[in-house]
């Protein structure tokens, strides 16, 4: 089956408007991460002269600066550059939300498929995002990203065979002693829970943490601009539980209603200067060269029905979760620890 892939493109307004070279947006993002156009060029695999010409040509066409280049300081996104990065994150989020359903539709149209795809409704995770296309292509696994609560909703309603979600790591300092609303919806007798990874979540802050932020309370007391996750996401639920422990009222946080749908989108919003802080996984912060203050260790896990553990599709999926392929994807990610070999467990 041939696969189609949607990508984001940028076009100048007006009839016959030229398309903006996709490398320009990537260079702006890399400059925000690395702090200089030279470093951005190296990361993109381009000669500096080519990178400079691409950015300069785009700025001339747009009539505005994308990058501010300052001697002795480096490069940082200008206002238009920041808005372009934020717009790219939002556009990619919309594509991400629809791509899995397109994959499933194409798969059903293919006579080559011998079995229906294994449907996984999962909270967004960087490891799953890297593996999703390969798993769909090679193993007939259709992963659709939702918040943790919606993922479990779909699983309980029979619209997904497996749910992926995350909760505080049991027995750790991050297990704050409050009832977890997600685990309470699963039935130990009916549902098997399969450990996948342990992740570190915390505060995502601008490079170098210039404000010396150390806690969630600092964000509220200093009236810093915050970027949140959407209601129902496991990250939002974890943050709300942590705020309850710290006796911080959500309404005291500026930007509490400014919401994004993935860890990467939160990090990109902070990197673009549209927010002073966010809450998400360490790996997303590190990928953009941002500062990170750890707050909570959490366990990402999958739930499936015990009665279906003998289903060949479920057995194949469990083998993938416990495979060295997953271990190799997890290994370089900061704040991640693979626990997939533990097999089915009760949490």
Q: Is residue 47 part of a domain?
A: yes
Q: Is residue 70 part of a domain?
A: yes
Count how many domains the chain has: 1
Task: Give the pLDDT mean for 186-209.
Answer: 93
Residue 347 pLDDT exceeds 50? no
Residue 276 pLDDT exceeds 70? yes
pTM of the model: 0.61
Task: Give the pLDDT mean for 126-145.
Answer: 92
Q: Is residue 235 part of a domain?
A: no
Q: Is residue 24 part of a domain?
A: yes
5 bridge partner residues: none
SS3 string of the chain? CCCCCCCCCEECCCCCCCEECHHHHHHHHHHHHHCCHHHHHHHHCCCHHHHHHHHHHHHHHHCCCCEEEECCCEEEECHHHHHHHHHHHHHHHHHHHHHHHHHHHHHHHCCCCCCCCEEEEEECCHHHHHHHHHHHHHHCEEEEEECHHHHHHHHHCCCCCEEEEEEECCCCCCCCCCCCCCHHHCCCCCEEEEEEEEEEEEEEECCCCCCCCCCHHHHHHCCCCEEEECCCCHHHHHHHHHHHHHCCCHHHCCCCCCEECCHHHHHHHHHCCCCCEEEEEHHHHHHCCCEEEEEEEEEEEEEEEHHHCCCHHHHHHHHHHCCHHHHHHHCCCCCEEECHHHCCECC
Residue 52 pLDDT exceeds 60? yes
Q: Is residue 238 part of a domain?
A: no
The residue that leads in pLDDT, 274 or 181, is 274
For residue 74, name the pLDDT band (cuts at 50, 70, 90).
Answer: confident
Residue 63 pLDDT exceeds 50? yes
Residue 281 pLDDT exceeds 50? yes
Q: Domain containing 41: what range?
A: 19-77
Q: Is residue 109 part of a domain?
A: no
Q: pLDDT tens digits, residue range 109-123?
A: 444 334 578 999 999
For residue 7, name the pLDDT band (cuts at 50, 70, 90).
Answer: low
Percent share of the chain, pLDDT over 70: 83
Q: Is residue 60 part of a domain?
A: yes
Q: pLDDT tens digits, residue range 325-345?
A: 999 999 999 999 999 765 544
Q: Is residue 73 part of a domain?
A: yes
End-to-end alpha-carbon separation of the chain, Å? 39
- Token couple for 52: 């400079």
Task: Give the pLDDT mean for 29-44.
Answer: 87
The residue that leads in pLDDT, 65 or 346, is 65
């Amino acid at each position: 089956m041939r696969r189609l892939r949607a990508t984001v493109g940028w076009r100048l307004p007006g009839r016959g408007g030229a398309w903006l070279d996709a490398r320009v947006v990537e260079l702006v993002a890399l400059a925000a991460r690395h702090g200089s156009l030279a470093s951005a060029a190296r990361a993109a695999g381009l000669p500096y002269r080519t990178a400079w010409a691409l950015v300069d040509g785009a700025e001339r066409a747009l009539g505005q600066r994308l990058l501010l280049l300052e001697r002795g300081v480096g490069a940082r996104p200008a206002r238009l550059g920041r808005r372009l990065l934020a717009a790219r994150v939002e556009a990619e989020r919309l594509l991400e939300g629809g791509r899995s359903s397109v994959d499933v539709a194409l798969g059903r149209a293919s006579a080559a498929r011998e079995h229906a795809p294994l449907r996984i409704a999962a909270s967004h995770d960087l490891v799953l995002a890297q593996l999703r296309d390969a798993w769909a292509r090679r193993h007939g696994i259709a992963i659709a990203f939702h918040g943790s609560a919606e993922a479990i909703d779909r699983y309980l309603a029979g619209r997904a065979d497996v749910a992926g979600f995350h909760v505080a790591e049991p027995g750790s300092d991050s297990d704050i002693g409050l009832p977890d609303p997600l685990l309470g919806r699963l039935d130990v007798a009916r549902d098997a829970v399969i450990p996948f990874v342990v992740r570190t979540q915390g505060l995502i802050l601008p490079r170098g943490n210039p404000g010396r932020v150390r806690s969630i309370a600092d964000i509220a007391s200093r009236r810093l601009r915050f970027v949140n996750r959407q209601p129902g996401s496991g990250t939002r639920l974890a943050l709300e539980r942590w705020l309850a422990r710290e006796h911080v009222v959500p309404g005291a946080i500026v930007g509490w209603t400014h919401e994004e749908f993935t860890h990467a989108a939160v990090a990109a919003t902070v990197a673009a200067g549209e927010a002073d802080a966010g809450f998400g996984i360490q790996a997303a912060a590190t990928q953009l060269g941002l500062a990170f203050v750890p707050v909570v260790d959490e366990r990402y896990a999958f739930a499936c029905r015990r009665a279906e553990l003998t289903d060949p599709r479920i057995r194949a999926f469990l083998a993938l979760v416990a495979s060295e392929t997953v271990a190799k994807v997890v290994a370089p990610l900061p704040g991640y620890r693979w626990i997939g070999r533990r097999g089915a467990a009760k949490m």
